[in-house]
Amino acid sequence: MVDASNLFARNFLDIKYDNLPKKVIDETKKQVLDFIGVALGGYGQAGAKEIRELAIEWGGAPQSTIISSGVKVPAPNAAQANATMVHSLDFDDVHEAAIMHPGVVTISTALAMAEYRGGLSGRDFIQAIAVGGDMISRMGLATRPGDNVHKYGWHLTTLNGFMTSAAVAAKILGLNEDQMISAIGIGYHQSSGNGQAVKDGVLTKRLGPGFAVRGGIQAAMLAQKGVTGARNSMEGVQGFYYVYHGNCYSRDILVGDLGRRFESENISIKPYPCCRGTHPTIDATLTLVHENDIPPDGVESIRIWAGRGTLDLLALPLEVKARPRNFVDSQFSLVWGCATAIAKKRVTLSSYTETAIREKDVLDVAAKVSVEYDPKFDTGGLEPVYVEIRMKDGRVYKKLMETATGSPEKPATFEEVVSKFSGCVEFSSRPMPKENAEKVIKAVRELEMLGDIQELIRLLVW
């Protein structure tokens, strides 16, 4: 049996831009604009700021740009800084069923390597991101299918990001199949990433994808110089799925219809800056609030029913989720999202800050929330929720939400991504000049026409 890592390497080399379905191309362009906007929004965020400062302090060869700063550092360090900016708001794109953030890995790698290499066309840039997004999403989908993967403790974006970043970087560097297999194997040798950071509400959660892309790019560069990596890194007797997942995976999901089915077309753009698992609750609550003009002081109680994966990650322990210790806790709290939707009638970037988590009107509503387990919501991926708001005058409002805004069933339009991009620019601690922002939107809309991605990168500094 040919190892899946070998098949992914061959797929990167075989698939050309012209082989990509139009939907994959269109979704990839939306993901690129979303990535840039969310990076700008995350520029001054805790964790991202310190990583950027360290990268600048370390210095080194001026190979690739840190977005917004204008500083060039070695490509692995630039990709790490950019990925951390993007992931710091928890506003970056997501593959719901795979429980994966593809763009923070694929796009940060592709941008850094495009500048390092020079001369990468928009078409080849799209191809690398789309095939990389397919790879990392398949890796997530294939892991313990039907099981609650959260209980095993991995942060899957980071864990799967090392190997995916290595493959994307290898593709852009022009490595051959053997070298790319080695790059993936070297990436596997570094793979890590855990969920305890979420449990403890600490900053390392947002740093994880940055570690992955730095390691992935280094892996590809080492392979280019002749360093060898495991050739059976995914399915070998001590490969990725055996070591990390007890060999519990689906090979058919992992590589079935490879090159014909593209999971990168199923990546969602987030409308709210928090864990995607909270979004069905926020959508349900906002729907009830706006349809019924619910006054926060008229609410008696709120009950939320959810599946085990959602409850364990986003609702328990209730005292932490209702009274966040810090803004990381609030990003991973369906209780906070629900309370914010009722108290503020909207959920925005300003809802997840150190100031926001101390706002009495939201805390008062959050104290009225209780959560319950419903086994029929154990669907895996983005789980459904049921929200019930009981009013003091006896009225009761109920809403079942089976998906969320921005999902493949309700995808964001390019114009909606433009609106989100503009909001992120305004929120940024270092806003992009309007002229640059307009040019970025136009360049991404016509991304396949760019002769060199450096034309876009030059717009990301001022």
- Three-state SS string over 70-117 comes to CCEECHHHHHHHHHHHHHCCCCCCEECCCCECHHHHHHHHHHHHHHHH
369-373 and 385-391 beta bridge pairing: unpaired
CB of 373 closer than 8 Å to CB of 379: no
Query: What is the spatial distance between Cα 404 and Cα 264, in angstroms, rounded to a whole number?
Result: 18
**pLDDT given at position 410:** 85
Q: Around 153, how many Cα atoms within 13 Å sit in the side-chain half-sphere?
A: 5
Give the pLDDT mean for 355-372: 96
Residue 124 sits in a domain whose CATH number is 1.10.4100.10
pLDDT value of position 13: 98
195 and 310 co-located in one domain = no
Q: Bridge partners of 373?
A: 306
Q: What is the structure's pLDDT at 146?
A: 86
Q: Which of 228, 148, 152 is nearest to 188 (CA)?
A: 228
Segment 250-263, tens digit of pLDDT: 999 999 999 999 99
Query: Whole-angstrom Cα distance, residue 214 to residue 398?
Result: 46
Q: Which domain holds residue 342?
A: 276-401
Same domain flag for 168 and 313:
no
More confident residue, 403 or 415: 415
> Rounded to an integer, what distance in angstroms lies between the CA atom of residue 298 and that of residue 440?
45
Output the pLDDT for position 380: 81
pLDDT at 150 over 90: no
Amino acid found at 60: G
* Confidence band of 327 (pLDDT split at 50, 70, 90): confident
**434 and 363 in one domain?**
no
Q: pLDDT averaged over the chain?
A: 96
Verify that 364 and 449 share a domain, yes or no.
no
| Whether residue 54 is found in the same domain as residue 182 | yes
pLDDT, tens only, 413-425: 999 999 999 999 9
Domain presence at residue 407: no
Please state the pTM of the whole predicted model: 0.93
Cα separation values, 255 from 82, 89, 262, Å: 30, 32, 11
Residues 194 and 339 in one domain: no
pLDDT at residue 70 greater than cutoff 90: no
Give the mean pLDDT of 106-123: 98
In this prediction, residues 265-278 reach a mean pLDDT of: 95
Distance CA 180, CA 200 (A): 37
CA distance 57 to 266: 39
Model confidence at 3, pLDDT cuts 50, 70, 90, reads very high
pLDDT at 71: 96
How confident is the model over 192-230, as pLDDT tens digits?
999 999 889 899 999 999 999 999 999 999 999 999 999
Res 409 pLDDT > 90: no
Confidence at residue 323, expressed as pLDDT on a 0 to 100 scale: 96
Instruction: Compute the Cα dihedral for 317, 323, 325, 327 and give only its sign.
Output: positive
CA neighbor of 270 nearest in space, from 410, 124, 462: 410
The answer on 233 and 187 residing in a single domain is yes
Asked if residue 265 and residue 287 are part of one domain, the reply reads no
pLDDT of the residue at 324: 95
Per-residue pLDDT for 381 more than 90? no
Same domain (yes/no): 201, 264? yes
Q: Kindly report the CATH number assigned to the domain that includes residue 387.
A: 3.30.1330.120
